[in-house]
Structure 1
Amino acid sequence: MVSTIGQLVAWIWLYKYIQKEGSERNLRSLSSLVSSKTGAREAEIAAILSVFFLAIYAAAQLTAGGVALNSMLDWPETTGILIGFVLVVAYCYAGGIRASIWTDAAQSSVMIVGSTILCVVAMGEVGGLSGLHNELASIDSSMVNIYPSGLKFGATLWIAAFFLGGLGVAGQPQVVSRVMTLKDDSDRKQAMVWFFVWQTPFIALMFIIGLACRAIFDGTLSASEAESGLPMLAQSLNPILGGVILASIFAATMSTADSQVLACTAAITDDIKPEWKQDHGRTKQVTLVVAALATGISLVGQQFPGFGDSVFALVVFAVYGLGGIFVPLILIRMAGYEPDSQHTISMMVAALLGVFIWTLMGFGEYVFPSVPGMGAAFAVHFSLCWFRDDSSPNPLGRYSLPTKQFAAIGAVAMVALVGGVEYSYYAIAPDASDASDKTGTYSVVGEYSFYEIAQGSEYIEDGGSVTINASSDDAMSSLDGMNIVGVLVTITHEDTETINGPLCAVAEPPQDDTVEATISHADLSAGEADTNSFDFQLNWHNSSLLNTNVSNMTKADIESMLDGGGIGFGTHDLVIGVTVQNGGGLGCNSNDDGQDVSYTIELVSLDYSVNPV
């Protein structure tokens, strides 16, 4: 819903500017739109970034086609990707942008029919909307709540990311190129009506289908296989209807991919190599190379599970990368601000880094990269306006900066809005622990780290013992936040017994002494004894769960068995004793009164993750 509002704002406001500029300046590409003149340095860089992200976006569509064929026909995903490549090239060669627009219109009909059939089937499987609600609530209560659980950065940024994501559609070259083909503003308004008439029911249908797949395939599909849910659901249909669904999936992916390839071609021939613009043979070669690049990205991505082979991950990265780069530039130009090349390039680079770093750090799980992407671009814009001599000092272009009184009122309103949103999240969002109460199969992965808190050497006489007191405060690095689950003791010793006398050749040789060690902490203890060097560990966690799949348990139960609970902090007492074993005999004297024993005490930290399979 919030994303749709963002798209509505884009159609009413941004697209009006884009259509007008495209018509007046005879533009074909988004990269030309964000520069003052054709061939400018910023236009070239914008075109390169467009090609980079659009190639990834197109690769995601080819990957989706491969997933569909793999799930429904058991064909290798690479086969589906290569078939998609052939279809995309055929689409592009058949008639260019206008043919792409007309085929999109035809394919959208297939998509609506296919999604309607699949939605009816899905509702039958789960028992209607009420049955779907009950199924989802039993799996995870957060799926029937307006808010998800565990938002690290709060609800405000989470909501803002969806709005900016919708607004960011105006930063997608394959969409903007269509807006630029409109003759006048009345065409834009008519196109907007048709857009929402088709998109709104389609999104609603796919949303319901997605939730139904989550309920139907719970425990069957792992998180990494979630994108196979829709084609797997289609397998329950008869061959004819299943074929319609497969056709609708391919229609959705190919209609998007060919538009992206054509947008890449326009960016290259308009802004990187404008001398190729009227050379139709060279233009077709560029189209083929771009399609091959997207195919290569899709094929290589299969070797990087979790990102490169994930349609969702690729789309999110590409969509928000494009939105972060282009939408801030469009907005400031709409306001009448004319940035020079350095200003424009700096904003684009900042947005690129914002999206890339945010994605690399894994924060996209909580807030989509639209926020850091656009936020970084605007931060650079305002900074350059205020501190760079060559940039106009008014960041709002033809609009005056707000007065202090107006700014204060705006700040108060913003604080009130954010406070209200965060309070509502605090009040009604599900507890993150709710999702931990579901019995199922979980993949448990863990890794140990060791932190020395004591080491040394002691000479211990026969029958004697020494006590070493070690504290977690003596660790050479901070243990704050560590999950301490055990203590490791390492004992090394070497027998130094000597024998002498006339009959030593036939007497017992030197015997290894026995060293016994016991470590105690709180009410726990463990020990071991051996004549050789040894180590042993005192644990207060279930190490057998690590690096396995655990079934018939809840996530909370597993975590309780792997969480140290703060037990490892404090004093650890190590007691070491020695029992001498003498060799020699009659006519052969033994010289062995004790033993040198070296010890090391290390706390054991466990870093683990528990994920549903």
Structure 2
Amino acid sequence: MSVSNPTLITFVIYIAAMVLIGLMAYRSTNNLSDYILGGRSLGSVVTALSAGASDMSGWLLMGLPGAIYMSGLSESWIAIGLIVGAYLNWLFVAGRLRVQTEHNGDALTLPDYFSSRFEDKSGLLRIISAVVILVFFTIYCASGIVAGARLFESTFGMSYETALWAGAAATIAYTFVGGFLAVSWTDTVQATLMIFALILTPIIVLLATGGIDTTFLAIEAKNPDNFNMLKNTSFIGIISLMGWGLGYFGQPHILARFMAADSVKSIAKARRISMTWMILCLGGTVAVGFFGIAYFSAHPEVAGPVNENHERVFIELAKLLFNPWIAGVLLSAILAAVMSTLSCQLLVCSSALTEDFYKTFLRKNASQVELVWVGRAMVFLVALIAIAMAANPNNRVLGLVSYAWAGFGAAFGPVVLISVIWKHMTRNGALAGILVGAVTVIVWKHFELLGLYEIIPGFIFASLAIYFVSKMGAPTASMVERFDAAEKDYNLNK
């Protein structure tokens, strides 16, 4: 542990700073709206960076670099798909959703929005969407805990079981205490740390391998196909990787950032900041995995941990190439990526349980203080379930993320997108979209049909279900009136 002492001290300082931010946010949290959406007070910079950081979880510094290290540039189609999907989400959904949620009962959660937007008196739409959130987000939370455990395991030589708890504890602490404001403020710090790590690390790896020409020659010598974007791919393979971009329209933890923006006017500036950050981060991620091929082929004596688990490529490069104090800062970036996404997911699960089950069905007249404390208890409960799911040391981060991402993208993506651009969508159309999307993902994943990523058929079938079922009925006059008022408000203020 002596070698790791500087890294350990850096981690402790970083975690202490995050918990301190949580305590500061605690003082600004007075009611459930503050706890779940920060009182809709986020400016453009915090909206942009917290949306980015909550999106880019541990897979950004572990899963994706590992995939590039193993397969070369052919895995970068994921990054291209994500950039396109994120931009379209900012362009078509962000501003409209911010306005629509305000016009539809000042909705705090997606189930709340769906219920108000489609005047669902039965509560069925709220229940089904909240259940989808809990099922897929618990899997997503497990992926974050696995990533955190891998980090602590490889950095401090802990057992996997101990690392699970160590990795999750700090995130649970500041989310539990500070709610949405803590999550958003810490996300901004974490996004800054992540971009610093992903710009600096590839540069140092390049210098360590002798510059661009030498590095590229070494990568080519290892396998010329590493440069081939079409290596071991097919049309279906490329479409599957690009299809990750469809997931953005349905991710509750990202959509919550749009809902929490202080105004529609903030969205355009936030979009520019967020997309710049995202492109730089994904470029750095691809470079880390790609240049890592050259480094470890030149230094096979230290390649053991990466050959054993390719998702450790960033971790090992940071430990090998940097002073332990700098390595501590860089490895904190992985912790930042894990914590930023895990905290958002815990909070969304908590808000679904508190707002959409507890308040709606059990305690309609519960006080704001009671609801905030129930929300905190739910953070703890979901975290414990996710830790139990993450207990298998053979879990892979990217595999868990891809399933949860597809589940949300197909179940909620078409419903959210169509609900903010088409006034004739109905409650039954929304129900059909959520059910068809979720079921398609589960069935497609189970049978692995055509080798196609399950989000694509899920998104297509859900969209068709929404359209055809909505055509069988008609929205009420008040639904159309609210939609038109929100769209007018959006166009006046965008």
TM-score (normalizing by structure 1): 0.58
Q: Corresponding residue for 2:3? A: none
CA RMSD for the aligned pairs?
2.6
Q: Is the 8 A contact 1:340 1:391 kept in 2?
A: no
Q: Corresponding residue for 2:112? A: 32
Q: Corresponding residue for 2:51? A: none
Q: Equivalents in 2 of 1:384, 1:23: separation in Å? A: 26
SS in 2 for 1:273: helix
Q: Equivalents in 2 of 1:183, 1:347: separation in Å? A: 30
Q: Equivalents in 2 of 1:243, 1:226: separation in Å? A: 20
Residues paired across the two proteins, number: 380
SS in 2 for 1:296: helix
Q: Equivalents in 1 of 2:367, 2:308: separation in Å? A: 42
* Gap change, CA 1:211 and 1:361, over 3 Å in 2: farther
Of 172-181 and 22-31, the range deviating more from structure 2:
22-31
Question: Aligned letter for 2:379?
Answer: T
Compare CA radii of gyration and give the structure with the larger one: 1
State the 1:38 CA deviation.
6.9
Q: Is the 8 A contact 1:50 1:322 kept in 2?
A: yes
Q: How does 1:439-478 map to 2 (within 5 A)?
A: none
Q: Equivalents in 2 of 1:159, 1:54: separation in Å? A: 26
Query: Which of the numbers 69, 77, 97 marks the counterpart of 1:18?
Result: 97
Query: Which of the numbers 459, 463, 478 marks the counterpart of 1:378?
Result: 463
Q: Corresponding residue for 1:111? A: 194
Question: Aligned letter for 2:447?
Answer: M
State the 1:242 CA deviation.
1.5
User: Does residue 1:327 correspond to 2:420, yes or no?
Assistant: no
Q: Corresponding residue for 1:66? A: 149
State the 1:227 CA deviation.
0.8
* Gap change, CA 1:148 and 1:368, over 3 Å in 2: farther
SS in 2 for 1:248: helix
Q: Equivalents in 2 of 1:223, 1:270: separation in Å? A: 46
State the 1:358 CA deviation.
2.9
Q: Equivalents in 1 of 2:334, 2:133: separation in Å? A: 25
Q: Corresponding residue for 1:138? A: 221
Of 370-379 and 256-265, the range deviating more from structure 2:
370-379
User: Does residue 1:287 correspond to 2:414, yes or no?
Assistant: no
State the 1:128 CA deviation.
3.1
Q: Equivalents in 1 of 2:142, 2:439: separation in Å? A: 21
Of 9-18 and 331-340, the range deviating more from structure 2:
331-340
* Gap change, CA 1:14 and 1:241, over 3 Å in 2: same
Q: Corresponding residue for 2:169? A: 86
Q: Corresponding residue for 2:351? A: 266
Q: Equivalents in 1 of 2:411, 2:214: separation in Å? A: 43
Q: Is the 8 A contact 2:119 2:427 kept in 1?
A: no
User: Does residue 1:193 correspond to 2:272, yes or no?
Assistant: yes
State the 1:360 CA deviation.
2.7
Q: Is the 8 A contact 1:3 1:162 kept in 2?
A: no
Q: Corresponding residue for 1:317? A: 403
SS in 2 for 1:146: coil
TM-score (normalizing by structure 2): 0.71
Q: Could you list the per-position Cα deviations for residues 187-214 of structure 1 after superposition, in whole angstroms to 9, with x for gaps in the alignment? A: 1112212212322211111110011234
Q: Equivalents in 1 of 2:233, 2:272: separation in Å? A: 37
Q: Corresponding residue for 2:253? A: 174
Q: Could you list the per-position Cα deviations for residues 275-328 of structure 1 after superposition, in whole angstroms to 9, with x for gaps in the alignment? A: 3683222221111111112212111x33xx3xxx10000111111210111111
User: Does residue 1:6 correspond to 2:103, yes or no?
Assistant: no
* Gap change, CA 1:297 and 1:232, over 3 Å in 2: same
Q: Is the 8 A contact 2:243 2:455 kept in 1?
A: yes
Q: Equivalents in 2 of 1:37, 1:369: separation in Å? A: 30
Q: Corresponding residue for 1:213? A: 292
Q: Is the 8 A contact 1:23 1:183 kept in 2?
A: no
SS in 2 for 1:184: coil
**Structure 2 stretches of 5 or more lacking a match?**
1-79, 482-494
Q: Equivalents in 1 of 2:296, 2:432: separation in Å? A: 46
Q: Could you list the per-position Cα deviations for residues 502-538 of structure 1 after superposition, in whole angstroms to 9, with x for gaps in the alignment? A: xxxxxxxxxxxxxxxxxxxxxxxxxxxxxxxxxxxxx
User: Does residue 1:239 correspond to 2:324, yes or no?
Assistant: yes
Q: Is the 8 A contact 2:424 2:470 kept in 1?
A: no
* Gap change, CA 1:318 and 1:24, over 3 Å in 2: same
* Gap change, CA 1:20 and 1:314, over 3 Å in 2: same
Query: Which of the numbers 101, 105, 115 marks the counterpart of 2:184?
Result: 101
State the 1:19 CA deviation.
0.9
Q: Is the 8 A contact 2:354 2:374 kept in 1?
A: no
Question: Aligned letter for 1:258?
Answer: S
Q: Is the 8 A contact 1:277 1:283 kept in 2?
A: no
Structure scoring higher RCO (CA < 8 A, sep ≥ 6) equals 2
Q: Corresponding residue for 2:390? A: 298
Q: Corresponding residue for 1:227? A: 311
Matched-pair identity in % = 22
Question: Aligned letter for 2:422?
Answer: A
Query: Which of the numbers 355, 367, 370 marks the counterpart of 2:441?
Result: 355
State the 1:5 CA deviation.
1.6
Q: Is the 8 A contact 2:246 2:455 kept in 1?
A: no
Q: Corresponding residue for 1:594? A: none
Q: Is the 8 A contact 1:9 1:167 kept in 2?
A: no
State the 1:259 CA deviation.
0.8
State the 1:391 CA deviation.
7.1
Q: Equivalents in 1 of 2:441, 2:295: separation in Å? A: 34
Question: Which structure has more strand as a fraction of its residues?
Answer: 1
Q: Corresponding residue for 2:124? A: 41
Q: Is the 8 A contact 1:32 1:38 kept in 2?
A: no
Q: Is the 8 A contact 2:83 2:278 kept in 1?
A: no
Question: Which structure has more helix as a fraction of its residues?
Answer: 2
State the 1:174 CA deviation.
0.9
Q: Corresponding residue for 2:22? A: none
Q: Could you list the per-position Cα deviations for residues 558-577 of structure 1 after superposition, in whole angstroms to 9, with x for gaps in the alignment? A: xxxxxxxxxxxxxxxxxxxx
Question: Aligned letter for 1:30?
Answer: L
Q: Is the 8 A contact 1:168 1:322 kept in 2?
A: yes
State the 1:161 CA deviation.
4.0
* Gap change, CA 1:82 and 1:22, over 3 Å in 2: same
Of 251-260 and 67-76, the range deviating more from structure 2:
67-76
Q: Corresponding residue for 1:433? A: none
Q: Equivalents in 1 of 2:445, 2:211: separation in Å? A: 37
- Which aligned runs of 4 or more in structure 1 are off by greater than 6 angstroms? none
Question: Aligned letter for 1:110?
Answer: L
Q: Is the 8 A contact 2:120 2:427 kept in 1?
A: no
User: Does residue 1:344 correspond to 2:436, yes or no?
Assistant: no
* Gap change, CA 1:295 and 1:356, over 3 Å in 2: same
State the 1:228 CA deviation.
1.4
Q: Equivalents in 2 of 1:356, 1:131: separation in Å? A: 46
Q: Corresponding residue for 1:183? A: 262
Q: Equivalents in 2 of 1:78, 1:169: separation in Å? A: 32
SS in 1 for 2:310: helix
Question: Aligned letter for 1:229?
Answer: V
